[in-house]
A and B are shown apart, each in its own frame.
Chain A
């Protein structure tokens, strides 16, 4: 005999299963940022300057080297760490030194950092030092930026594009 109660119960349990899957697939909503907030990110991959000057080899030195290794300049491998300093509206927000990558410390330094901040007009100042032999900062940039809620502002460093990028 067909038991309609059983079928109704099965239908209800299948519906409950589908509803649970459907609900948790999209809900409850998640808020990565509070209302009226924006996101400031620092992300870069930048090779610092070499830690020492290259030296010109003498003709005698070159003669002693194998023919395939007679490079005129003798350069150290190690690169300078990259120091990044960020100020927001005159206050210090971030000041950190990122080491070069690699066992011989000859790779590019990479860094990442993020901070939610209130939307509005902000003065952002970024200073980058990538040369241990030089005093002060190699690149600097200061910009007044109108930041809308939900906007992501990226601070990047690119030698080809003139140094510090705020976009």
Chain B
């Protein structure tokens, strides 16, 4: 098969596994990897970058607030004076406030599209998805009020159209439009109220962002430092190069004919004007409803949640530590019994799984000290495991695969369903075992495979930032390196274990790495004196 054909096959495989939109994002991400590296790839940290922009907007907003005169005439004058009297401080801060706010919306929308493209909105992810929907509304509301505060021509347009828009709601009095069109209603007191609303809605947004992350363990709300620095620098340069200035002073006797328009925040207002406020409400409400209902549309089958066996759980809390979605809590025996309905040993805390939040990734089973194939109990059971893929079955399947190995330099390949396909590698001397996530693999299974006849074990996990379950690759690396429990025991010959981290479209690299690994194993078999004891080999793709 030619290289081009193989590449096309890889691409088709990746597209089939993710859908077209997901494939497009995947290709973009891989291209960005080439420039930024996977660790600092902005497309893999859109949410964290949005957080950064929120804080940049908050900090620059606090500076502007210190010089802002809350009042009908003071608002415009103080901002003009700020921009002209201190262009490199106040002016730049005002510009940064605008551009960071714009970047916040842009990154948030990209984040939404990416998660949708990857299908990360349904099942156990419903809470994170649904809690993100109102954040868009809050951000836009805060931005619109912010534009009103400037009280220039754009502010006048925003105020009038926004009030018309709100007054179209049933039960809302049309008198509120007078706050934007009738001189006697536009008062200093109104501006004080607007400033309060601007800050209060922003704080609500922050609260919403906190809630949005509640189902994630170790959420990434801070981008990798080089990426964060680069993004902040790009916005700062933009703020200095293209200062954000007010348009003409607001004048209620005038109606603007042409406006420099911030489409990130004000996109809904022309819609309201072109059709009608009621039509704009209908479009936005339908969009919001569709977005909110997305997790329950499509009827994806949800996998059963992880199950705790109280007789096997020793209460060590490793599953609680490793769960990427905070689906596990450690409960006192009485509480655990009440929650699960099963009798729990009285002496220790027991893991309890919240089925609603469980992703069925199996990382908890990989963390459990009782998930070891060396146990000699009649029926192998773990403290926590997936009902659809219990540890006993994992051992049985491993033994089945090991039985197929013949010849020299035999390798058992542990792969994951979301990473590069490993089951296509099976052949003479190579067997494959695919898990829901490589993080489900307890290191003792690697040792077991080597003791049961495999010459080598190749662990093929997802490339950095690509793990479907967020932390599976991190925990596996740490366990193999002895930095996290359960670790790979020191007696395991490291040259016979090789971990490789590849993206879905790198299947040809996997084949090459496997061949190279088998070559090394073959060399070591022929020349046993050359064996060295070191940490497991690794390749980051």
Which A residues are closer than 8 A to B by beta carbons?
6, 9-10, 13-15, 17-18, 20-22, 24-35, 37-39, 41, 43, 45, 101, 108, 110-112, 114, 149-152, 154, 156, 167
Contacts and interface: CB of A to CB of B under 8 A. Distances in A.
Contacts of A154: 181-182, 252
Contacts of B260: 26-27, 29
Interface string B101-130: 011001000000000000000000000000
Interface in B168-201: 173-175, 177-178, 181-182
9 contacts: A6-B35, A10-B35, A14-B230, A22-B242, A26-B260, A32-B157, A33-B256, A39-B255, A156-B182
A39 B254 CA distance: 8
A154 to B, nearest CB: 6
Contact of A26 (B252, B256, B262): B262
Contacts of A24: 102, 106, 262-264
A110 B175 contact: yes
Nearest to A111: B174
Interface residues of B: mostly helix, strand, loop or mixed?
helix
B257 A18 contact: no
Given A21-B238, A24-B102, A41-B181, A110 B173 contact: yes
B177 A152 contact: no
B98 A32 contact: no
Interface residues of B, number: 46
A41 to B, nearest CB: 6
A154 B36 CA distance: 56
Contacts of B258: 29-31
B501 to A, nearest CB: 20
B103 A149 contact: no
Nearest to A13: B35
Contacts of A43: 174, 177-178, 181-182
A15 B98 CA distance: 17
A20 B181 CA distance: 33
Nearest to A30: B261
Contact of A32 (B99, B231, B257, B262): B257
B341 interface: no
B164 interface: yes
